[in-house]
Amino acid sequence: MTDIRHRQEQHSLSMMYGTYADILFVLFPFLVIAMQRLWDGNLYETLMQPDLSIAAAILAGLAIGKFVLGLVTNQDLGRYKERIVFFIALTLFLVMGPAIILLLSMTASADVPRFVAFVQPVLLIVAISLYSTAVSIANVLVQMGEAEPTANDAELRYADAMSQPRDSSKQPPLDLPRRTESDGY
């Protein structure tokens, strides 16, 4: 029992590291830009440029992708589709929409309102939170959809599969639709 719990904790820890590695890779170019502006003495300009809105929109898009991945990974998880659609709508409403509106408004206007310096970091924090949540939810849904085999079960199945010759006649044939005259081919 403790071995299964230990593996689950290790898997959760690995997922956390992977999630934050993704976030750091997305934010890296924006960090370089911010460091260059800091070097030039214009760090406040970073908050008044659309950089953070771009990063928030990227992370929101990744979050939506993770939510969809959690939904389509296993067909048995369809009972959770309303929740996942809610999180997709929440991501669009809270992050993607405002980030794109800010991005377009900031690039089209010479005068950027001062509130943007506060809104953009908040958008980025919400985007990071939603992306982390999306990865966690996708992971939980996938784990709920599969029964976690023990190490002995997996080893026995592998050994059994390796010891028996492959018989292609036992596999179902690939069912492809036939072309008809009405298809135009």
- What type of residue sits at position 108? A
- Note the pTM of the prediction, 2 decimals: 0.69
Confidence of residue 180 (pLDDT cuts 50, 70, 90): confident
Beta strands in 2-150 (DSSP E): none
Cβ(126)–Cβ(96) under 8 Å? no
Pick the closest to residue 89 from 104, 120, 68, 114 (CA basis). Answer: 68
Phi/psi-derived region of residue 166, left when phi > 0, alpha when psi is between -120 and 50, beta in every other case = beta
Range from 29-38, 76-85, 92-101, 119-128 carrying the lowest mean pLDDT: 76-85
Phi/psi-derived region of residue 179, left when phi > 0, alpha when psi is between -120 and 50, beta in every other case = beta
Q: Which tens digit of pLDDT belongs to each residue from 133-172?
A: 888 877 776 666 554 444 445 554 545 555 555 555 555 6
Domain spans of the chain, in order of start: 2-144
**pLDDT, position 176:** 61
Q: Which tens digit of pLDDT belongs to each residue from 95-138?
A: 999 999 999 999 888 888 888 889 999 999 999 998 998 888 77
Range 48-54, long-range pairs (CB < 8 A, 24+ positions): 48/106, 48/112, 48/116, 48/117, 49/106, 50/102, 50/103, 50/106, 50/107, 52/120, 52/121, 52/123, 52/124, 53/99, 53/100, 53/102, 53/103, 53/106, 53/120, 53/123, 54/30, 54/99, 54/103
Phi, psi of 176 (to 5 degrees): -105, 145
